[in-house]
Amino acid sequence: MTIYDIAIVQAIHRWDVSTFLKVNKRLRDKYWLKAAETLSHTADGWGYLLIPLVLMMWSPQQGKMFFVVSAVAFLIERSIYFTLKNSLKRRRPPQAIPGFKSFIIASDEFSFPSGHTSGAFLMVTLACIYISPLLAIAYIWAMCIGACRIILGVHFPTDTAMGAIMGSSVAILTSILLPNLL
């Protein structure tokens, strides 16, 4: 028996597929897809290093702490992400839904959780804690990252929801626990 044999997991998966297909039916316009692809690339991870570096130039002490906490948080988040992804092995929508084709090719094989969404929520949460609560407006960007991953056809809604929960939780816990250890 696997986790996918449990009735509640099957019910969640049916809802996930139904919701996913409704979103993808409405938003398959080439302009939506190109916009989603462009926005999704902003969460590829390369830009996350810029935030602590810029902050270090502006406020060296605060920037150093932000850099250390961000690095540790990403190390923890990526470890959880890879463990979940490779343990649960949830198939991506193109493999799970007969006849469905995604707009992009995902960088890895499995779907749960969304790493783009997790990383986006982790960084926004850390920025709100260490830089300014006013940056909470950036949660709109993080939510859009999750939506883009669904629109592009590489994640189900629960993949992105778990990514958001995971990224935010790791950021909060790391920012509480790590400074006490330093």
Other beta carbons within 10 angstroms of residue 125's beta carbon come to 25
**Is residue 4 over pLDDT 70?**
no
pLDDT, residue 146, reads 96
N- to C-terminal Cα separation, the chain: 44
Widest Cα–Cα separation across the chain? 54
Cα distances from 12 to residues 72, 87, 116, 123, 148, in angstroms, run 32, 18, 22, 28, 21
pLDDT digits (tens, 9 = 90+) for 163-178: 999 999 999 999 998 7
pLDDT, residue 55, reads 77
Question: Which is more confident, 111 or 62?
Answer: 111
Contact 130, 67 (CB under 8 A): no
Q: How far apart are CA 28 and CA 165, in angstroms?
A: 27
Chain-wide mean pLDDT for the chain? Answer: 88
pLDDT digits (tens, 9 = 90+) for 89-106: 999 999 999 989 888 888
Contact 34, 23 (CB under 8 A): no
pLDDT digits (tens, 9 = 90+) for 42-94: 999 888 888 877 777 878 887 788 888 999 999 999 999 999 999 999 999 99
Residue entry with tokens 């979103």: 23
Is the full-model pTM beyond 0.75?
A: yes
Task: Name the burial class of residue 47, with classes exposed (0-12), middle (13-18) and buried (19+) by CB atoms within 10 angstroms of its CB.
Answer: exposed
pLDDT, residue 79, reads 96
